[in-house]
Structure 1
Amino acid sequence: MSRKLLSTLLTVALAAALAACGSVEDDSNASTDASGDAKADASSAFPVSIKHKFGTTKVTEAPERIVVIGNGGTDDIDALYALGVTPVAVSKDALSKDGVYPWLKDRIDTEKTELLDTLTAVDYEKVASLQPDLILATSDFTLDKDYKKLAAVAPTIGYETAWGQQTWQEHVQVVAKAVGKEEQGAQVIKATEDSIAAVRAKHPKLEGKTYSLSIGNTPAKIFTIASEDDFAAKLMSEVGMGLPRR
């Protein structure tokens, strides 16, 4: 499979997924009375407890200052914006000049959301200065060393068992539960799965094809996807493709 075709496929699949996420409307910007009802409904969802590799994180009330840490993926960030939630800070895109992920350029307002440089290390004092009431770090591939210090700043949610093994659906479910929007989360998942299915139907010749995917997101390092359990491989399987058999 050519690199050009693979790149096109990934772009189409991800664009379709994010477009579907954007099609789910949130009522957080409704009129004053309706907004009050929405907040009351959200408050009734708490407290919630979320289990992950590092323990159980309890969120006692709807978080208002969310920080997202992790250069290992943007699942938490994508899920927040799909749910109509604006974080106070996120890890920046180390590969773009302005630090904003290309598919989120029309969503991330850098006047409202600070971009953090976490590629080589997390500045815990900087994170603390943002006064977060929730830290999402399920995409932080160095969370084994970061978790205790982040959890000392604010309630922190990590990956379930190992970095890179949660599906995008599971990421959405976790984030939706953490912010009290489980119903909207289910809508996001359904809309996105429908869009991915449409991509698969539009490109039937991809069924059964194999691919190779390498990612250079760290200086002097290239990661090659080698397991069908990887979240990127799981996405590719949704359009009918798989990794070469060894």
Structure 2
Amino acid sequence: MNQRDPRISRRDVVRGLSILAAGPWLLSCAATTPSDGAPGSNAAPDQEAAFPVTLTHKYGTTTVTAAPKRIVVVGLVEQDALLALGIVPVATSQWYEAPGGVFPWATEALGGAPLPTVLDNSSDGVPVEKVAALEPDLIIAVYSGITKKEYDLLSKLAPVAAQPGDYVDYGVPWDEATLTVAAAVGKPAAGQALVDRVRDKIAKAGEEFSGGTGAIVSPYEGVYVFGPEDPRGRLLQQLGFDFPSALLEGRPKNAYGWSLSAERAVDLDDLDVVIWLDTEQQVDSSLGKVWTSTKANVEGRDIYITPQGDEIYDAAFNMVTPLSLPYVLDRYVPQLRAAADGDPATKVPA
């Protein structure tokens, strides 16, 4: 992924800075696609061809005049929304590695369709020439950080659904991203139904955690904080955990995340849950007693999510899509429950 934030690579930090060498998994494992995130079969036909549709985004507006047939995804996760709506893109963009950018929780939605091409955007930004060669009639960049220059170049090829201007780059909420994708492909009713199903699952899962506090962090340059505008941070809040105000001190403007000094690990002391995107060994090695002496650590309120633990779960946790969320919640909620009880004898499930 090309990262426009000069302070840190989003691809690096979300996977845990110390474990970037973890290899990809193969999709030969059994696919698991929860019904809560599966494509809907009861979409209202009177709304499913809503063209032309005009989308508002960071760089202005884009009008899609007809149902697209060749969709290229240059954002990092929007293929899941498309697949959930019964549409297979011709290309996706590489973030976590999976054939075609289609992950185990989404393979059922793929059906027997050919796998999309995967675009490598890891070095020089969006590969515009490769996108052009795919002859797209819609380019989706909602969960992205494309620049104005890239947007202008891509707009010469096809209508571009770019990231919204109301959020930091890579900070659009999963539900808003899904609704934008659904509108762009003329399926607003199906998109709303999909979002409603997953929102309901999140709401029910979060009933037991209301009023707690929690944060998602990484031991990068001290303590890297994934803020309240980060999709994973938003999910934690939707599950009932408030973001701690102390961690906002030192936050740069328009940032989805930021680094605090290692000494600031003491600010995690009273949290009900602390989710580390790295291994326990790396966290302890990086922060030492300033972390291990906190109540959050001593009382077992910590959770560790890494590719070394489970690559598929790690990817699903970080992608935050209408298909990955039901997959994640089945495992994440028991982890949160065990961590939040404050009893060090309660083992947090892997």
**TM norm. shorter chain > 0.5:** yes
Q: Which residue of 2 aligns with 1:111?
A: 114
The secondary structure found in structure 2 opposite 1:135 is: strand
Q: Structure 1 pair 49/78, CA: closer, same or farther in 2 (3 Å)?
A: same
Task: Please point out which of 124, 133, 141 is paired with 1:129.
Answer: 133
Report whether the alignment pairs 1:66 with 2:76: no
Q: Which residue of 2 aligns with 1:193?
A: 199
Q: Which residue of 1 aligns with 2:245?
A: 245
Q: CA RMSD in A?
A: 3.2
Q: Structure 1 pair 105/207, CA: closer, same or farther in 2 (3 Å)?
A: farther
Post-superposition offset of 1:198: 2.7
Q: Which residue of 2 aligns with 1:80?
A: 82
Q: Which residue of 1 aligns with 2:213?
A: 209
Instruction: Letter of the 1:233 partner, please give it.
Output: G
Post-superposition offset of 1:114: 1.2
Task: Please point out which of 19, 22, 35 is paired with 2:38.
Answer: 22
Post-superposition offset of 1:215: 10
Post-superposition offset of 1:92: 2.6
Distance in 2 of aligned mates of 1:82 and 1:197: 20
Q: More deviation in 157-166 or 225-234? A: 225-234
Q: Which residue of 2 aligns with 1:90?
A: 92
Post-superposition offset of 1:94: 3.6
Post-superposition offset of 1:154: 0.9
Structure 1: gaps (5+ residues): 1-15, 28-37
Matches within 5 A, 1:156-167: 156-161=160-165, 162-167=168-173
Report whether the alignment pairs 1:168 with 2:174: yes
Task: Please point out which of 153, 158, 176 is paired with 1:154.
Answer: 158
Q: Which residue of 2 aligns with 1:233?
A: 233
Q: Structure 1 pair 142/48, CA: closer, same or farther in 2 (3 Å)?
A: closer
Distance in 2 of aligned mates of 1:150 and 1:18: 35
TM norm structure 1: 0.73
Assess if the C-alpha contact under 8 Å between 2:47 and 2:187 holds in 1.
no
Deviations 1:34-86 (A, max 9, x none): xxxx6x9644x111111111111010001111000023xx1x22211111111
Post-superposition offset of 1:236: 1.3
Assess if the C-alpha contact under 8 Å between 2:38 and 2:109 holds in 1.
no
The secondary structure found in structure 1 opposite 2:62 is: strand
Distance in 2 of aligned mates of 1:146 and 1:49: 20
Q: Structure 1 pair 168/125, CA: closer, same or farther in 2 (3 Å)?
A: same
Post-superposition offset of 1:107: 3.8
Q: Which residue of 2 aligns with 1:143?
A: 147
The secondary structure found in structure 2 opposite 1:212 is: strand
Distance in 2 of aligned mates of 1:229 and 1:127: 29
Distance in 2 of aligned mates of 1:18 and 1:160: 29
The secondary structure found in structure 2 opposite 1:58 is: strand
Distance in 2 of aligned mates of 1:98 and 1:172: 20
Post-superposition offset of 1:213: 3.1
Task: Please point out which of 29, 36, 54 is paired with 1:49.
Answer: 54
TM norm structure 2: 0.53
**Bigger radius of gyration, 1 or 2?**
2
